Amino acid sequence: MARFNYELTMAKIEKFKNERRGEGDLETYKPWITVRDLASKGRSSREFGVKVKREYHLLSDLERYFFYIAEWSDNIVDIKEQFPILEREKTMEIAEILGFKHPKDTKTKVNAVVTVDFLISFKNKEGEIKTVGRSIKPSSELIKKRTIEKLLIEKHYFESIGIDWAIVTEREINKNLAVNIQELREYLLRENQIDKGVTDFLLSKMKTLSKEGVIMEDIKHISQVEGFRLDELLTALKVLIATKQIPFNLNQRLDFNKTWSFYKIGG
């Protein structure tokens, strides 16, 4: 359980409920736990959404990387972080059946509201909206008995309501992809501030380039011949990648000293 900058009481739980935490969809959703609630911020962060325009509260680097990749996916519709299981009686019952101690505040002994790191809604191949729960944990945490007990409470709860639930560790998160997306997100967040004429020109020009050409050399050549600034052409290229107007393999770290074919680009 995260260390909060307050002691958990029933009054605090009711306050959070009155604030409608854990409710809403898309832009109206409010996470149960926010970065401001934590006693030690550690590696927590707040990120503004590209797909859903609201602030997301992410409590670790792994959560942040997972969020980037989930948001990048075309079939994901909504991402709810720090999602609460408000049926405390249900999680308490599950804990009792399993023979585990229910998570509680160490000082007040009040049973905590169990949260899952992410509740994700996505469109399946049939176009139906489905929901899954995902808990993000470093693999090193999975050797700890208490960590496993808490995760099993989550697992059994979501199984009881027919929602797929799974653990995601760093082994399932492509860090290259996540870091690339992190770099590209800023161009999506300020896309309307970027000259569309430059991106359209570069997109048409790319059709004439050899796939074995070095990306940076080609961009420099276009800059010199066509009179565009190098920085605006590089920005335009990142916008084209970020908006998926060109197919670009982001499983390798972005390095424009590589060839277009390295990222499977070109004719």
What pLDDT sits at residue 194? 77
What pLDDT sits at residue 157? 98
Q: How far apart are the first and last CA of the chain?
A: 52
Q: For domain 10-172, give the fold.
A: Trna Endonuclease; Chain: A, domain 1 (3.40.1350)
pLDDT tens for the chain, 267 residues: list them: 566 778 899 999 999 999 999 999 999 999 999 999 986 666 899 999 999 999 999 999 999 999 999 999 999 999 999 999 999 999 999 999 999 999 999 899 999 999 999 999 999 989 999 999 999 999 999 999 999 999 999 999 999 999 999 999 999 999 999 999 999 998 888 776 778 889 999 999 998 999 999 999 999 999 999 999 999 999 999 999 999 999 899 999 999 999 999 988 654
CA–CA distance, 156 with 138 (Å, rounded to integer): 21
Domain layout of the chain by residue ranges: 10-172, 175-263
Q: What pTM does this model have?
A: 0.92
Q: Which residue(s) pair with 45 in the sheet? A: 58
Task: Record the tokens describing residue 143, joined without a space.
Answer: 């050797």
> DSSP per residue over 182-211, as a string?
HHHHHHHHTGGGS-HHHHHHHHHHHTTS-T
Q: Residue 69: which residues within 8 A CB-CB, separation 6 or more?
A: 173, 174, 177, 178, 181
What pLDDT sits at residue 267? 43
